[in-house]
Amino acid sequence: KELGFPLKIHADEFDNLGGAALAAELHAMSADHLVATSEEDISILAESDTIAVALPNTPFGLAEDHYTPAQAILEAGGILALATDLNPGTAWCENMQFAIALACRYMRLTPAQAIAAATINAAAAIDRADQVGSLEPGKQGDVLILNVPDYRHLGYRFGTNLVRIVVKKGEVAVRNSN
């Protein structure tokens, strides 16, 4: 923090070691994983500005049965973000559509909750919510147009690229034929 970098903590991935509470105490920007975080530590985290980042691709990649207790975090008033945790050791998957589908299936998020976690809350977790993560005047204008009839399809359509058009900074960057 003293060097100007935001504090981010990977915490309680396999065991509850108090990482979520420590993240809140240290005013970390985010605490990632939180699979084994206790109810007490979820309450402490929820009372802080630290964003809880769920990484559902990791337990999936490790064939684990436990995922971040997303509903408990939301019910406690916490801010929940969603990311892939792309890494070759546990989750070699950069597909956010898959992370959203896993979050809906195993963390019991609604598609709307998962989309908010993957967009505006994820932007906040990397200190960029003033630039990206939502469609508002003055923001960058990044948009995905998906080949689905309704946003709720993100919760159960997986294994295929649903992106039809990518708009980056207000300009069409990619146009898929799917």
CATH code for the domain defined by 8-133: 3.20.20.140
Q: What's the pTM?
A: 0.94
pLDDT tens digits, 1-38? 788 889 999 999 999 999 999 999 999 999 999 999 99
Domain ranges of the chain: 8-133
Which residues are CB-neighbours of 110 under 8 A, at least 6 positions away?
Answer: 104, 155
pLDDT tens-digit map of 47-71: 999 999 999 999 999 999 999 999 9
Q: What is the DSSP letter of 127?
A: T
Neighbour-count burial for 122-139, b at 16+ CB within 10 Å, e otherwise = bbbbbeebeebbeeeeeb
